[in-house]
Amino acid sequence: MSEVMLPEDMPERPDDLLRALGLDEPTPGVDVGVLGQIKRDLKARQGPHRRRTLAQKIWPVLLAAVVGAVLFVVLAPNPAAGTWHFLASGLAGLAGWLCLMAAAVAPDKPATGERVALFGLVAAAGALVVEGALAAQMTRVGFDMGLTCAVTAIVAGVVPMGLVLFAIKRSGLPLRALHAAAVVGAGLALSGASVWLHCAADNLWHLLSGHMVLPALVAAALAVLVFRLLNRERTLS
């Protein structure tokens, strides 16, 4: 290796080169018109949200949480549900609550929103793993797509998802991928948790298809759709 290490006292910016490169002279500034334009755009898009009170900011998310809780009452837990059902459902519920929290904080603290959303997705993945483990224990293997459960979870998730989407859209937040995942996760994880506990099926294919694969695919597709939809308008207002 022919690399020769420099002496530690080598200046990072020797003065002679500074002058020779013309870096000691002032550079022309950027037209401040762009600064004003972007500041106006920020105020037009996100200003109204910043002026709202906390209650005004988060009421749609709180309402989504209430709807999520009501789903557990409407789709009452099946008496046949065992520990694994409760564990899977509990993790899915936790994922839903974390996604709701992510959606609530994201407009004011986007990075924190992203982190909380990531925890939510991890919890959702955990719920799917537990549901998978539950499926693996099942002895009934007659084919059942579990369409009823999948459709119920998706339909029941529409209201909380819509409320969270409304909250995010009116905040004007430039949506990141994890925020979009949180919007969808808040709805589908909450509804999925109640449906799983309500159904407590003992059929392998039903659990794999209706409880896991179909809702997960729909969730992924919806997250992409939400991300694209809310980031469609990128021109300055």
* Footprint on this chain of other proteins (rule: CB under 8 A): 3-6, 10, 12-14, 16-17, 19-23, 25, 27-31, 33-35, 38-39, 41-43, 45-47, 49-50, 107-112, 114-115, 172-176, 231, 234-236
Residue 52 or residue 138: which is nearer to other proteins going by CB?
52
- Amino acid symbol at 166: F
Residue 153 or residue 182: which is nearer to other proteins going by CB?
182
Residue 155 or residue 225: which is nearer to other proteins going by CB?
225
- Report, in Å, the least distance between residue 39 CB and other proteins: 4
- Report, in Å, the least distance between residue 11 CB and other proteins: 10
Separation CA 95–CA 108 (nearest Å): 21
Which alpha helices (H) appear in the chain, and where do they start and end? 15-20, 33-51, 54-74, 83-105, 110-136, 147-171, 177-199, 204-205, 214-230
- Report, in Å, the least distance between residue 14 CB and other proteins: 6
- Report, in Å, the least distance between residue 35 CB and other proteins: 5
- Report, in Å, the least distance between residue 36 CB and other proteins: 10
> Residue holding tokens 């209430």?
66
- Report, in Å, the least distance between residue 27 CB and other proteins: 5
Residue 16 or residue 54: which is nearer to other proteins going by CB?
16
Q: Which tokens hold the place of 45?
A: 């898009």
Residue 137 or residue 237: which is nearer to other proteins going by CB?
237
Residue 10 or residue 73: which is nearer to other proteins going by CB?
10
Spatial CB neighbours of 193, under 8 Å, sequence gap ≥ 6: 72, 89, 90, 92, 93, 95, 96, 127
Q: Is the distance from CB of 164 to CB of 64 less than 8 angstroms?
A: yes
Separation CA 116–CA 99 (nearest Å): 7
Q: Is the distance from CB of 154 to CB of 161 less than 8 angstroms?
A: no
Separation CA 150–CA 88 (nearest Å): 16
- Report, in Å, the least distance between residue 105 CB and other proteins: 10
Spatial CB neighbours of 149, under 8 Å, sequence gap ≥ 6: 195, 196, 199, 201, 206, 210, 211
Residue 181 or residue 214: which is nearer to other proteins going by CB?
181
Q: Which tokens hold the place of 134?
A: 């539950």
